[in-house]
Amino acid sequence: KQEVTQIPAALSVPEGENLVLNCSFTDSAIYNLQWFRQDPGKGLTSLLLIQSSQREQTSGRLNASLDKSSGRSTLYIAASQPGDSATYLCAVTFTGAQKLVFGQGTRLTINP
């Protein structure tokens, strides 16, 4: 079964720290992987999309990496701020599935 897992479910760090969020997936045959942010009670905001041929993507303080062979992606957040507090979701399009499969998310809290 094609699944996406995010561990830990929740993470709390002091402001200013660099941090890494993890995403693992069960099948290395993927089209792409997308990271989203979700604030409480709101919709999803797309952060980064990595195609299967790419190793990483960067946007501002965010950097996402992709290692298909190990079935892993990481989202690196530099110099974290309280405004980064949100739930971060990873989603994968597996080859042949033609749809996004979502992880359960990591709820991130940045403490001032």
Partner 1 sequence: DVKVTQSSRYLVKRTGEKVFLECVQDMDHENMFWYRQDPGLGLRLIYFSYDVKMKEKGDIPEGYSVSREKKERFSLILESASTNQTSMYLCASSRGQGLLNEQFFGPGTRLTVL
What are the residues binding partner 1 (CB under 8 A)?
Answer: 31-32, 34, 36, 41-46, 49, 89, 91, 93, 98-100, 102-105
DSSP 18-60: -EEEEEEES-S-EEEEEEEEE-TTS-EEEEEEEETT-SEEEET
Question: In angstroms, what is the minimal distance from the CB of 64 to partner 1?
Answer: 13
Contact 20, 6 (CB under 8 A): no
Q: Closest CB to partner 1 among 21 and 103?
A: 103
Residue 4: count other Cβ atoms within 10 Å of its Cβ.
Answer: 23
Question: In angstroms, what is the minimal distance from the CB of 48 to partner 1?
Answer: 9
Question: In angstroms, what is the minimal distance from the CB of 43 to partner 1?
Answer: 4
Q: Closest CB to partner 1 among 57 and 80?
A: 57
